[in-house]
Amino acid sequence: MVSEVLGTQCSAKGCRVAAVWALQWNNPKLHTPERRKTWLACDEHRESLGNFLELRGFLREVTPFGAVS
């Protein structure tokens, strides 16, 4: 099914590669401390997406995709 495929690909703009990383984040100005949002990343975009979130103080955890709790 198309929606299943789209849900497991990298979150980087224009990337259609399968995700292998889950970047857990939250915006402390908008979300409670326990709230987590997830961006998925392929190997190529894991660092750039992580840096984007880290610079803003949003990144909480990076885990292999499929190991998200």
Say if 25 falls within a structural domain: yes
Please state whether the predicted TM-score (pTM) of the whole model is above 0.75: yes
Say if 22 falls within a structural domain: yes
Q: What is the pLDDT of residues 2-15, one digit of tens each?
A: 334 456 899 999 99
As a whole number, mean pLDDT of residues 13-27 equals: 95
Say if 37 falls within a structural domain: yes
Domain, as residue range, for 57: 2-64
Say if 34 falls within a structural domain: yes
Say if 18 falls within a structural domain: yes
**Domains in the chain, number:** 1
pLDDT averaged over the chain? Answer: 88
**Cα 33 vs. chain centroid, distance in angstroms?**
17
Say if 69 falls within a structural domain: no
pLDDT confidence of residue 66: 77
Listing DSSP states for 3-57 in one string gives HHHHTTB--STT--SBP-EEEEE--TTTS-TT--EEEEE-TTTHHHHHHHHHHTT
